[in-house]
Amino acid sequence: MKHEKPTDEIIARALCRHAGNPEDIIHKGAPLWASYLPEAQAVLKSLEEHGFHLLGRTSKM
């Protein structure tokens, strides 16, 4: 079975890459992509508020 990343992690990693940053370097004790989780979760919340419901789970970081 393939391990699927949580939806908010996928978005956070994409935001990190889009900003030109390497997503897996450690920053303040966590992968750099994790610092983009608040923005990723805001995107998911906004989508849900507008009727878009994505399948998948979110991380509990």
pLDDT digits over 12-44, tens only? 999 999 999 999 999 999 999 999 999 999 999
Decide if 16 is inside a domain: yes
Decide if 34 is inside a domain: yes
Residue 40's pLDDT is: 96
- For residues 32 and 57, give the distance between their C-alpha atoms in angstroms, rounded to a whole number: 20
Instruction: Give the total number of structural domains in the chain.
Output: 1
Residue 53's pLDDT is: 78
Residue 52's pLDDT is: 86
Residue 55's pLDDT is: 63
Torsion, Cα 54 57 58 59, to 10 degrees, reads -160
Note the pTM of the prediction, 2 decimals: 0.82
Decide if 2 is inside a domain: no
Look up the domain containing 24 and give its range: 7-49
